[in-house]
A and B are shown apart, each in its own frame.
Chain A
């Protein structure tokens, strides 16, 4: 994995705005409804090419495919796993704000648990998905299709590096109920064995693999009955399962993304980074992308005053965010980068985003403008850090 050897590199957390009409077709395919295969393939091919170009034009050094083929960053694997059964479910209060919900009943919608105003629940939680027999990976064709769309999109464009995201076992557990395995551990390790196939396929293709692992942060609000010691035990098992899924794969070709759930809301009871940072850094990867620019987590750069990054790894703090449609000022971006560089070393910092901007900011153009601000801020920081 490249690091910021002579300048601050830029990247982002994954999901990007979908081109017009694509989400509907991807959704139809996922729901088993009729769709035009040829049309979808064509749209994905051109969509991925366009979105790579858009990232490059916006100053992103380490680009991805925008997750265009996926319904969502997590539930997409429902189509790539055997052993599942899907049944309609009644709406239930979303758990990722589980500790905040009861304190802010006016803000959260009682039924969905999502903010009542401008945000609506996403695909999560409309169906109940259960594991009813041994899990298996059935997604080889899908992941190869992602790789096949991404490779040609990179022809003729200048990028430093490219990555494909995949979801972590612990986050799959958010929406997958175990009705087959005897306990959490065997269930998690079975998911890990399945996901190993996808992780390996991505690493083998030559792309960097990004593991999306919001559950390390947002599991705390979901399991609102646990205390910190109990939660750490819970999270540690998820980290062990993830490391099991990553076994045999080169740490230097993989990075981890951790956040606290990207919904706009109070986040009052988010678990402090301080309480889980050692567990995050136990994941055997070469880079750690962490939410760091929204008002609930911005102060946590100071955690790295006394926490050391594992040898040879890089930190990818969010310096622009999904939480607001304000476009971060490049000077603010630079300030944030320089703070981290001062603590972990400039060559060990890559400038990133808090979370995927795709569905969370008001408009695609806001996303690209934030990327421009990110790139300009990285340039300013580079000047300050390399002189």
Chain B
């Protein structure tokens, strides 16, 4: 993967806003009521092409397909795999639970369904990832970026969103997910794209899925997820993979988020060369300081969020530069790529957390901030 050899590179987390008509169609698709498959596929192709061009035009160096054809970065797998027909359940947000009166005021939750696993898992649509790859290849050849990455759900995050009601143990469920998902990871790698595995389970699951366990016990869970992930990535060289961790992409209290300090040791054991994490929102911005005490292993790259993905405020480029420089001074400028806290289109939905036109303006602010940081760091 490219690193910031002579300037600070920019990227983001992966998902990007989808056009309203596509979101509406994805919601229908998720309910199993898609009337016109052909129209849907051509709309996805067109959206990927547009969203790649807009990233390049907005100064993003390492671009994605915006996950335009997926209902969500994690639950999309149920459309590609067998075994997910069980009744699901949403997990509560333990931080919001401390503010019960406030819950009524939250924006409409995503309608994306989250069935449980109730049968053997296998591929039913191997072609889906190939369609993603073909769409993305066409788009990057029309608007060439510095580099291109494609996201896929980690076994751990699938297990987070789609509960196990079939395998005898959590370990068995994760192991099967890893064996199956390995095919998708390999396909993305073989297509020549960087692979990004999405692993919010390593942070977010602490307050959403395991609020009762101790931090120490949670780290053991995270370590087990990483072990499974490493197994699933074993065919791919570390320098072709990055991973993303986060605490849940929603504007809320987040006062129960586990500090990055607690999980960083585990995260550094993961195979991917680079990891992206939240660094911009007010619950995690101060955590750049952990790199005063934690030495980044040789070769690793960090992708801290310098844009908050939950606010329509546009970060000032000088703030972006201040954030980048703080990390660069601690871990080395060539080991930092500027990123976003999380995605800007986590789930297909018909209302936006951040308005598309503001997302692009944020990207331009990030690119400008990276230029300012580059001036300071390379002089």
Contact = CB atoms under 8 A, between A and B. Distances in A.
**Do A and B bind?**
yes
Interface of A: 103-107, 115, 117-118, 264-268, 293-299, 302, 320-321, 323-329, 331-332, 334-335, 362-366, 369, 373
Interface of B: 98-99, 101-102, 105-107, 251-255, 280-286, 289, 308, 310-316, 318-319, 321-322, 351-352, 355-358, 361
Given A299-B322, A363-B99, A363-B101, A321 B315 contact: no
B280 A295 contact: yes
Nearest to A105: B357
Contacts of A293: 282
B254 A106 contact: no
A320 B314 CA distance: 17
B172 to A, nearest CB: 37
Contact of B102 (A104, A267, A329, A365): A365
A145 B273 CA distance: 65
B315 A326 contact: no
Contacts of A363: 99, 101-102, 105
Contacts of A297: 316
Contacts of B357: 103-107
Interface SS of chain B: helix, strand, loop or mixed?
loop
Contact of B282 (A115, A264, A329): A329
The 5 closest A-B pairs by CB, nearest first: A363-B102, A299-B319, A332-B286, A299-B318, A328-B282
A266 B252 CA distance: 19
Contacts of B318: 299, 302
Contacts of B314: 266-268, 295-296
B101 A295 contact: no
B313 A295 contact: yes
Contacts of B308: 295, 324
Interface SS of chain A: helix, strand, loop or mixed?
loop
Contact of A295 (B105, B252, B315): B315
B198 to A, nearest CB: 21
A324 B105 contact: no
Contact of B311 (A320, A324, A332): A324
Contact of A296 (B102, B289, B316, B351): B316
A362 B281 contact: no
A300 to B, nearest CB: 8
A294 B315 CA distance: 8
Contacts of A106: 355-357
B257 to A, nearest CB: 9
Contacts of B106: 362
Given A294-B311, A296-B313, A362-B102, 13 more contacts: A117-B352, A265-B313, A266-B361, A293-B282, A296-B315, A299-B318, A324-B311, A326-B252, A327-B253, A331-B289, A362-B251, A363-B102, A369-B255
Contacts of B283: 326-329, 332
A104 B99 contact: no
A315 B105 CA distance: 35
A264 B311 contact: yes
